[in-house]
A = this chain, B = another copy of it.
C-alpha cells in the first residue's frame, strides 16, 4: 500500500487517521486514491495491538426470553454505541460454555463490557481492566460498589402487577408463569416480588404454570398476572368474562389485541443512551457521577383490568 502510493507507511497511517496537519494535500490525494484502488483496509488487529485496545464493546446477553421489548433495548444500546464509534457485539452467555464470557473477552479484548452482574464478578473485572477493558456496566438487581450498574428489579415488576390488581379490588390472583426454563431465575424473582406484595396487600396469590391454566381456574381468581404478554394473550380467550388480566413487556401485540391488554412496561426510553454514555465516559477516563441507572416498571393501562 505504502509502496503503491509511493510514500512511507507512516504517511499512509497519517492520512487514513486524519492527521491532516502532517501531509500535503497532494500527497493525501495520492494516498487516498491508492487506497481506493487497492481496496485497502487497515488491519485492525495490528492497530489494536499497537494501541493496546480495540473498539469492540461486548454486550453479554443472559438467558432472557427474546422478545420485542428486549429487542428494542438491545437495538437502542447498539445504535448508541455505534454512534459513539464503538463496535458493539452481542454475546449469548447461556449458549456458550461455562466460561463463555471470559473466553469471549480474552479473544476480542473489548474496550467495554455490558454484562449481568452475576456473570462478571469483581475479580474478573479487575483482570479485564488489566487487559484493555476500560468500560463496564453491570445489569442486576442490586448496585455493585465501584461499578456502574443498570438496575433491573424484576422483584419490583411482580410487585407492581399485584399492586395494580389490588388497587382494583382483586383479592384472588393467579400468577401465570411460562414453562420455559428461560424465565427461570428471572421468573423466580418476579414471583417473589409478587408474593411479597400480595402478603402486604392481603391478596391471595396462586402460582400456576401456564400448561395448568385450567386447573388454576378452579380457585376462581378475579385477576390474573401473566409473566409475559404472549402468555396473557394465550389465556385471554380461556378466562371467564370479568376476570382481570395483566401481562408483562408492553409488546406490540399487547397494544393490538382485542381487548387491548393491560401490561407492564419495563424501563425508560433513554436507558440505552445512558448505558452507552456511561461506558463512553469510563473509557475516556472520566469519573462517573451517576453510577446507578434505574429502570422502573410502570403499568400500561389497557382494557383487561
Contacts and interface: CB of A to CB of B under 8 A. Distances in A.
Interface of A: 39, 41-46, 48-49, 54-56, 58, 65-68, 70-71, 74-76, 78-79, 82-83, 87-92, 94-97, 100, 103-104, 106-109, 127, 130-131, 178-180, 210-211, 213-214, 228-231, 233-238, 251-254, 256-259, 261
A257 B127 CA distance: 47
22 contacts: A43-B49, A43-B109, A44-B109, A45-B48, A45-B109, A49-B49, A54-B107, A56-B107, A66-B70, A76-B95, A87-B103, A179-B252, A179-B256, A214-B258, A233-B233, A233-B234, A233-B253, A234-B253, A234-B254, A234-B257, A236-B237, A238-B257
A82 B109 contact: no
Contacts of A94: 75
A132 to B, nearest CB: 8
A35 B55 CA distance: 27
Nearest to A180: B252
- With most chain B CB atoms within 10 A of its CB, the pick from A56, A95, A231 is A95
A39 B252 CA distance: 47
Given A45-B48, A82-B100, A237-B258, 5 more contacts: A39-B127, A44-B106, A78-B96, A82-B96, A90-B92
